[in-house]
Each structure stands twice: as structure tokens, then as C-alpha cells.
Structure 1
Amino acid sequence: MTLPAQGKFAFANQLRGLAVLLVVIAHYSGTYWGARELVSMFIFAPPAEGPASIVGQYIMPPTVNYGAFGVAIFFLISGFVIPFSLEKLGARRFLVARLLRIYPTYWVASAAVLFVVWLSSKYWGQAFHIETGRLIANMLLVHIETGQMTTDLVNWTLAIEVKFYLVAMLLWPLIRRRPVLVIIGFALLMLVYFRCVPKAWNVVPMGTLQVALTSTNTQLLFLPFLFIGTLFHLELTKKISPKVLAGSAIVVLLIFLAMWKRTPWYAQAASSAMNYSYALALFSLCYVLRSRFRANRVLDFFADVSYPLYIVHSLIGYTAIRFLMANGMSFVPAALLAFSAAVAVAYLIHRTVELPTAALGKRLGRRHIASILPAATEDVKVGA
């Protein structure tokens, strides 16, 4: 989502640009080397050869995971801006506008990713195969619920965003009346649910559909964290005081961290939870200093293309790096060229798909009552 380059929303826009760059760095310098077998399976190429690049050791401080850090920033921004659309559009128009934001861009970006992966399979002489059920589930962002493997390694966050849209839409009438009570109550309800669900429950049949409960629970973990961004929105619009914002945000964060320990992710990446705290600290600092933010060409550009770039950067980047290094190029120039290619694809999708569907969403809003905020917020664009 992009926000005005200057004014009270510039901080969120530029944080979005920073977030997508952090995720790219984490995936290219970390995941590409640290998960070679996984990457090779998704790009239909032999695993990367040789020792891992030492670049990641120099640019990633201890205890900092740029991927988790960047995703956490995305989530806080979504929680912060979604209420603007809810107020402006109402529930039905909001849902239609959100679906227009997420799905058309995701489908086209996924097509570009799969085309590049198909080219990789041809180059390396491997059979390209993605089952129809898996493809459909991913395109609808219900792959986690149906137990299907992802097709791009990054769409798990989009599935969480869609769930947050639905929950925020349902809770918004209550949040407007009792904001802190409802948000903390929802977080506590999630915590109780996590503590009460038997660990033996993995797949739950619902008619002909088999719901992967453990994986779905992992998605639900993040919903309270997104609502921390909503608390900042409530302070901005004078629904709560700064002291209430600080106290309630800390409470919800602690509940979120307690929930994290109840998921499989804790054993795999316990330190990642720390990066959500880092992200909240950075977001809070930028929010306090929001009046000092001015236009920044680099961060504003990456904010504009952040959604399609987030989708295409991983597999297109991995494919390009693998190909270039196999043909004699060292890692750093290969990664830079791969990043440039991903940015070019993302910009093309942004111009041809994302902007037109965003304009369609805006037309829905113009037929509704004016927003509770000044017209400067008309340009708010909400995305992943």
C-alpha cells in the first residue's frame, strides 16, 4: 500500500519500502544459501554449489532476522491503514476493494513467477509439475487450510492478510465503541484458543474438505499483532490517548509472544519473535516522528512496487542467481542483477495491473460518504 509521500502517512509509506528491501536481502543472502534443497525444489534446478556467500554475515547483525523484521513491519502497516478503508467504504465495499487489491495483482505476479520457473526447468532439464489442486488452492490463498504446498514461498503472509481483512471487518463496529477492550479481548481469546486446542489435532474434516488445523493456527497467531497497528490508527484519530496506546500495544505484544510458544514455529525460529518486537519499536519511533518525514525517491519507489515485488522477488531472484552463478558470475553481481530483474517485473505489474485495480477500488470509495479524515487520505492504497 502506498501513502502520500509527505505528511502524517509518509512514515508508513517509507517503512513499507524499507520492509520489502529487508525481505529481499534476507531471502537472497540467507534463504538462497541456507535452504538450498528447498530452493532447488521450487525453481526446478540443482541445489546451489560451493560455500555460502559471506555477505550475509556482514550485513545481518546477531539476533536480527531481516525477513521476520520486514514482514512484521508490513503487518503493522496493514493494521494501521485498514481502518481508513473500513471507515470510508463500509463493510461490503471494503471487502470488494480488498479482494481487488490482493487477487488480480497476485494472479498476474504468480503467472510471471511460474513462467520463469518453467524456463528454469527447461534449462536444467527437469520436469515441471504443479498439481491442479495445489495451484488452485494457492491462487485462492487457501493452500494452508487445505494442506497444499505453497507455489512461491511467500504467499503465507497474503493468506494472513486476507484473514485479517475478514476479522477486522467483523470486529470494526465493536472496535469503534470499545477499541482497547475489543482488541485486547480478541488477543486473549486467541491465546485461550491456542492453549486449549489439543496438539493432537492436525487435520479436521469439514465435509469433503480436510482443514489443516495446525498450519491454520499458525496463521491466526499473527492477527493480534496486526491489530497493534490498528491501535496506532485509533490514537491518530483521537479514539485513544498516547498512554493507552503504549499500554495496550505492550499487552497485545506480550499476548502475541505467549501465543508464539504454542506453535511449531517456536521450535524452528524462536528468535524470530524478537524481530517482531524490533519492528514494533521501529514503527513506534517513526510514528512519534511522523511529522519529520519527507519525500524520499528511493523508499517511495520501493513502497509503490512493494506488493508485486514481494511476490516475484523470491523465485525469480533464486532462478536468476542460480543461472548466473552456474555461468561464471559471482554471488554479489548475480544477486544485484536478479534483484534488478525482479524490480523490472514488479514495476511492469504495478503499472499494468495494480494501479488499474486500485483505481477501480477508489471508484467504489467515491460513491460512499467522505472519509473521517481529510482528503489527503484519498490516496491511501492498501496492500500486502
Structure 2
Amino acid sequence: MPLPKRAPAPVAERPLQPLRTRRLHVVDGIRLVAALMVVLHHYAGTRRLDEPGNAIWSRPVSEIMPSVFHVAAYGWIGVEIFFVISGFVICMSCWGRTPRQFFVSRVIRLYPAYWFAVLFTTGVLVLLPGVSERLPLREVLFNLTMVQAGSDVANVDPVYWTLWSELRFYLLFLVVVAMGLTYRRVVAFCCVWGAAAMLAPVSGFPLLELLANPDGAWYFIAGLALYLMHRFGQDLLLWGILAMAWLMGQLELGERVAYEGVSSWRGAVLIFTVFLLVMVAVSLGLTDRIRWNWLVTAGCLTYPLYLTHYVAGTAVISRLHGTLDARLLVGLLIGGFLLLSWLVHRGVERPVSRLVKRGLDASFARMRAR
């Protein structure tokens, strides 16, 4: 007697194949804007730069260029914007992929430009010492792993702290990728991770706090919810997750404002809220008509720009601040690092990524064969 056929799983439960949708050009543009916000903040908007006799400008930057300082003081929010976009893009790019494909895609995306940045920044510190501390060679080499924060080793460049948050997000999301991405599983992941992030600070378990990443979790969760809106359409549950992410985010923004000491909570929340509303418009398809090709290039510059600008840029400012107008110097530096980022993308990221992908694919094929 033939066995009865098993009923097909509901659509929402089956891992779906990637949709053949057009590239979201607006997201590329937002990424570059966020990177430029961070760069401007590091050059002209931090509390350290507004202290008399600071090692970068020698006198408070609010006296040198007050209007720029008041705008740049909010540039740190670019990091939170990065985290939201990361949640959105990772979910979009991993849908329908295997864990192996997810792993390879993250390695070739993160490491080539990062390896260059570590060596480039170390070289700048050798040539222009005195502003930032140069690490011992053994710690510089360990930085090439990108997991130095997990081993209590200092970063070659302080901006690398965000990569540790990204890596922990990838590790957690890999579990969902291994199970197969579905609407229900991603929603459940958002809820479980969000609950863990809320409980971790008061749990007394350092390992839970390490994995839950309470400082950044809700920004990534916001990005995941926004992508689900983009792929499946809006519903009350996704709006609830996004609202919870905003509520948790505004609390964390308040803590960041207190730490930065140069901006207001109201201004920070306003900027973050406007950004989320723009991302809602992207998720609902309201920006699909924007198809400017230069935005794709802009998105490619973001990661190299973020990795290379801080230590090297402030070292240059410390040498040249007395020879050029401050605004001109900052503008030239930003332009120079954008050019460097384009060169890194074309001359480092593309060829090295191809080589690494080829090698990893061959390695995984060998593992399957054996």
C-alpha cells in the first residue's frame, strides 16, 4: 500500500530562494552618508578635539570652526546607522544561501580591505608618530585576525571596535542561516535576541552579555525587521519590533550622548528617527525609482573609508593644522581618503576577494570530497 504523500510546508516555513530584485541604490547612498558623518565627527566633532592643547588641533576645535563642530558633534550616530543597514543587507544577501556561502561571503567582504587598513595605519604611525600609540608588532599581527577584541588585545585603530559587534551578529545569525531563512525564523530570532539583549546587563553572566551584545543588538534587529517589511510586506508584528528597536535605541543613544559629551539627546534621537523613516520608505518601495549608478560606487567606498580615515587622518591634521585653513584641511583630507578608498576597492578588495573566494571554494570542495 503506498504511503500517503506528505503535505507541503506552508510558504512562510520553507526557505525561499533569493528574489531577483534590483539593487537598492538608496541604501548605498545612506551608507556613504553615515561614513562621512563618522569621518567628520572624528576630524572636527569629538570631546577630545574640543580640549585646550589637544594633540590634533592644539586648541579647541569649537573655537577654530564652531559651525562645523556643532554639526560634526552628532556624526557618531553614523555607527548606529551602519548597524541598522548591516542587519538589513545581511538578511537580504543571505536569503537562500547555505552556511558555507554565508561564511565565504563575509570573509571576502570583510577581510581584504581590513588587512590593507591594518598595514596602512601601522605604516602611517611609523612615519607620523606622536598622536596615536603604535602597538607592538605581535599585536599588530594579531589584529589581522579581526578577533583581537575577544582576546583583550588593543585595536590598531580605535574604529575597529564596531567590527567586533558585527562579527558577533554574524555568529548569531549563522544559526538561522543554517536552519534556513524564513519569515517566522527571522522574526523569532529578533524576539529571542532582543530579549537576551535586555536581560544580559542584569544577568550577571559575562558570556551572555558578550553574545547578546546589548549595546548594538537592537540596531541590527531594526535592520532585520526592515528587510522583512521589504520582502514580505508590512504587518503589525514587524512594526512592533521596529518600535521596540526605536525605544531601546533611544535609550542607548542617551548613554552615547553622555559618553561623547558634545551633543544632545533630542538631536541624536531626531537624526536617528529621520534615518529610520527613510529606511521604512526604502523597505516599502517608495525609493525604487532612484537608480543613480554613482550610488553603487559610493557604497563601495564606505568600508575602506571607515577603516582607514581615523588614525591616519588625525595624524596628518596634527602636522598640517597650522599651515592650512581648518575647513580646507578637513575637506582635502576627506577627498583624499575617498580617493584612497576607491583605489583600495579597485586594487585590493576586488582582486584579493576573488583569490580568497577561489581558495575557500576549493577548500570546501575538498572537504566534501573527503
TM-score, normalisation: structure 1: 0.74
Aligned position for 2:203: 196
Contact conserved, 2:51 with 2:59, CA < 8 A, in 1? no
Aligned position for 2:222: 228
SS at structure 2 position matched to 1:105: helix
Identity of aligned residues (%): 25
Deviation at 1:36, TM superposition (A): 6.6
SS at structure 1 position matched to 2:90: helix
Aligned position for 2:259: 268
1:66 matched to 2:61: no
What are the superposed Cα offsets for residues 75-115 of structure 1, whole Å, 9 maximum, x if unpaired?
12211121233224311221122012111210112211221
**How far apart in 1 are the matches of 2:42 and 2:132?**
25
**How far apart in 2 are the matches of 1:286 and 1:127?**
39
Task: In structure 1, give the amino acid aligned to 2:95.
Answer: E
Deviation at 1:35, TM superposition (A): 6.6
Aligned position for 1:345: 340
Matched pairs, number: 334
SS at structure 2 position matched to 1:31: coil
For residue 120 of structure 2, the aligned residue among 90, 112, 115 is: 112
Contact conserved, 1:143 with 1:149, CA < 8 A, in 2? yes
1:30 matched to 2:45: yes
Deviation at 1:255, TM superposition (A): 3.9
Residue pairs, 1:215-364, within 5 angstroms: 216=210, 219-238=213-232, 241-257=234-250, 267-269=258-260, 274=269, 276-288=272-284, 289-295=286-292, 297=294, 299-326=295-322, 328-359=323-354
**How far apart in 2 are the matches of 1:175 and 1:153?**
34
**How far apart in 1 are the matches of 2:141 and 2:212?**
21
**How far apart in 1 are the matches of 2:26 and 2:56?**
40
Aligned position for 2:35: 20
Contact conserved, 1:312 with 1:342, CA < 8 A, in 2? yes
Residue pairs, 1:178-217, within 5 angstroms: 178-197=185-204, 216=210
Task: In structure 2, give the amino acid aligned to 1:241.
Answer: Q
Stretch of structure 1 that moved more, 134-143 or 316-325: 134-143
SS at structure 2 position matched to 1:304: helix
Deviation at 1:295, TM superposition (A): 0.3
Residue pairs, 1:21-170, within 5 angstroms: 21-31=36-46, 34=49, 46-54=55-63, 57-59=66-68, 65-68=74-77, 70-121=78-129, 129-170=134-175
**How far apart in 2 are the matches of 1:20 and 1:129?**
24
Contact conserved, 2:132 with 2:315, CA < 8 A, in 1? no
Change (3 A) 1:347 1:336: same
SS at structure 2 position matched to 1:150: coil
Change (3 A) 1:260 1:295: closer
**How far apart in 1 are the matches of 2:71 and 2:312?**
28
Contact conserved, 2:317 with 2:329, CA < 8 A, in 1? yes
Task: In structure 1, give the amino acid aligned to 2:61.
Answer: A
Task: In structure 1, give the amino acid aligned to 2:114.
Answer: Y
Aligned position for 1:10: 25
Contact conserved, 1:191 with 1:259, CA < 8 A, in 2? no
What are the superposed Cα offsets for residues 41-95 of structure 1, whole Å, 9 maximum, x if unpaired?
xxxxx55313425576424668971222x12222122111212332243112211
SS at structure 2 position matched to 1:157: helix
SS at structure 2 position matched to 1:28: helix
Deviation at 1:133, TM superposition (A): 4.5
Deviation at 1:321, TM superposition (A): 1.6
Task: In structure 2, give the amino acid aligned to 1:183.
Answer: C
SS at structure 1 position matched to 2:292: coil
Task: In structure 2, give the amino acid aligned to 1:117.
Answer: L
TM-score, normalisation: structure 2: 0.76
5+ long unaligned stretches in structure 1: 1-5, 41-45, 205-212, 368-384
TM-align CA RMSD? 3.7
5+ long unaligned stretches in structure 2: 1-20, 363-370
Larger radius of gyration: 2
**How far apart in 2 are the matches of 1:50 and 1:224?**
37
Larger RCO: 1 or 2 (CA < 8 Å, sep 6+): 1
Change (3 A) 1:135 1:319: same
**How far apart in 2 are the matches of 1:35 and 1:134?**
30
**How far apart in 2 are the matches of 1:258 and 1:50?**
32
Contact conserved, 1:118 with 1:128, CA < 8 A, in 2? no
Stretch of structure 1 that moved more, 53-62 or 158-167: 53-62
